[in-house]
Amino acid sequence: MSLDEVVFDPNLAPNKAPRTGGPRRLRFTNRWVSTVQQPGYYYDASTPGLALQVTAGKSGPCRSYKFLYRSPINGKRRDKGLGSTARTALADARQKVATYREMIVRGIDPLVAAAEHRTTQLRFRATSVTFGEAVDRCIEAKAPEWRNTKHRQQWRNTLTTHAKPLLDLPIRDVDSPAVLGVLEPIWTSKPETASRVRQRIEAVLDWATARNYRSGENPARLKGNLGPLLPKTSKIKRVRHHPALPIDQINAFVQTLHARPSVSALALEFLILTAARTSEVRLAVWDEVNLETKTWTIPPTRMKSGREHRVPLSDRAVEILKIQSKLDNGNFIFPGQSRNGKDSLSDGALLQLIRGLSGYEAYVPHGFRSTFRDWAAERTTVAGETVELALAHTIRNRTESSYRRGDQLDKRRRLMQAWSGFVATPKAAGSSSVVALARHA
């Protein structure tokens, strides 16, 4: 198609001209364009393809420029807007039409070219998202699947601290060398932390790929990417267990708690007697407790396993609950400092309590679960399966877990009562003899 063939065709108009006798063609002027009132289409005699559309509006006529042409791709009639007369000068409209006519000569449809340009711009803006921005959006997207709200902050802190060099980098430019530069300094010195950092970087990049912010293989993936470049964590990872109080020191420790009457001290003793996790005790509410059946039922939403857990309560555990029930504590069994039950104990309350006890500063609340586990293994004849149920551990053997339906509540009730008796017995008066659970019951 030559330039001479790109001419105005009155039949391209979407509707008839405002007056009978065919389309009205005249040479546009700035003054005429700004004053024309009659709705319809007008065509510039000096610029083939340029039209003025006038429509009736509530506050007066609306005027805008149009470019009317046939697509060089399929010959269909096309109508491309050039802007309103209030924002587009007549000279600019004529220049745009000249540019578009040149494009048609080269076989390019201006509307198709504009759509492709918008797509390219959107894709560029999407891929300009930084890794730090992707972290924020990924966390927002994944947060509903996390039961613990603290997990969100842990994710953010891990990445902002250890993946700081990546935060301002466009997500499309995060590659294996960049990820490797973050991981290598901590891979052998902090293997557990490094493993979490890698997994979370991988998750963010997978999310970004799904959102079309980047493409290609995930550079944080071990298999096929980082695996050959880093030593296996299983060879360097040093397991660090929570410090656990020795079995024979548990009575002395609890006696120390009795000398410090407070909500935190009672909560910590209750944690010891039930072998529960810190969050399970801190967030316990009265609706979960049945004092008649001496049972505490923790809902799935507060359990690490995501399954309901029934805890049989020993006599001393029930006594602690009765002490708390006499106070105006609201809904929480162990409320925080507000004393109105609206707030639970803070996340670090029990840990701070231990750190304030001379000689016990090195221990942590979670370690008392290990103390209970050691006592059950060394001082009782109870089956390991029953102990695991008392600790609310998930059975990893799929065959075994599929056949086991009960939670051995009666067996565990006898176990927890025996544990309470051991905790209450001074070492000098007690012994290291093994408790035969059935006979003891």
Please check the confidence at residue 4 and state whether its pLDDT lies above 60. Answer: no
Q: What is the pLDDT of residue 231?
A: 80
Residue spans of alpha helices (H) in 106-231: 110-127, 131-142, 150-162, 176-187, 191-210
DSSP 314: P
Q: Give pLDDT tens digits for 40-88.
A: 888 888 888 899 999 988 888 899 999 998 888 888 888 888 988 888 8
Please check the confidence at residue 3 and state whether its pLDDT lies above 50. Answer: no
Q: Are strands 295-298 and 289-290 parallel, antiparallel or unpaired?
A: antiparallel
All residues at 6 or more sequence positions from 32 whose CB lies less than 8 Å from its CB, including other chains: 26
Q: What is the pLDDT of residue 14?
A: 41
Go through 371-407 and write b for each residue having 16 or more CB atoms within 10 A of its CB, e for each that does not.
bbbebbeebbebeeebbebbbbeeeeeeeeeeeeeeb
Amino acid in position 307: R
Q: Could you tell me the maximum CA-CA distance found in the chain, to the nearest angstrom?
A: 119
User: Binning pLDDT at 50, 70 and 90, where does residue 328 land?
Assistant: low
Residue 280, CB half-sphere, CA atoms under 13 Å: how many? 28
Please check the confidence at residue 185 and state whether its pLDDT lies above 70. Answer: yes
User: Binning pLDDT at 50, 70 and 90, where does residue 95 land?
Assistant: very high
Grouping H, G, I as helix, E, B as strand and the rest as coil, residue 52 is strand
Mean pLDDT of 99-120: 84
Please check the confidence at residue 439 and state whether its pLDDT lies above 60. Answer: no
Q: Which two tokens stand for residue 150?
A: 């603290």
Q: Give pLDDT tens digits for 8-18.
A: 444 444 443 44
Distance between CA 177 and CA 182 in Å, rounded?
9
The pTM of this model reads 0.55
Q: Give pLDDT tens digits for 372-425.
A: 999 999 999 999 899 999 998 876 554 444 445 578 999 999 999 999 999 999
Q: What is the pLDDT of residue 212?
A: 84
Selected residue with higher pLDDT from 91 and 233: 91
DSSP β-bridge partners for residue 393: none
Nearest to 238 by CA among 303, 204, 274, 189: 189
Q: Give pLDDT tens digits for 240-279.
A: 556 789 999 999 999 999 998 889 999 999 999 999 999 9
Please check the confidence at residue 6 and state whether its pLDDT lies above 60. Answer: no
Q: Which two tokens stand for residue 98?
A: 């000249």
Neighbours of 292 (CB within 10 A): 6
Q: What is the pLDDT of residue 127?
A: 55
Q: What domains does the chain contain, in order, with CATH numbers? A: 3-126 (3.30.160.390), 131-236 (1.10.150.130), 247-440 (1.10.443.10)
Selected residue with higher pLDDT from 371 and 20: 371
Q: Give pLDDT tens digits for 151-165.
A: 788 888 889 899 999
Neighbours of 18 (CB within 10 A): 15
User: Binning pLDDT at 50, 70 and 90, where does residue 441 land?
Assistant: very low
Grouping H, G, I as helix, E, B as strand and the rest as coil, residue 128 is coil
User: Binning pLDDT at 50, 70 and 90, where does residue 22 land?
Assistant: very low
- Percent of the chain exceeding pLDDT 70 equals 82
Selected residue with higher pLDDT from 286 and 429: 286
Q: Give pLDDT tens digits for 127-149.
A: 578 899 899 999 888 888 776 66
Q: Give pLDDT tens digits for 270-281.
A: 999 999 999 999
Q: What is the pLDDT of residue 201?
A: 94
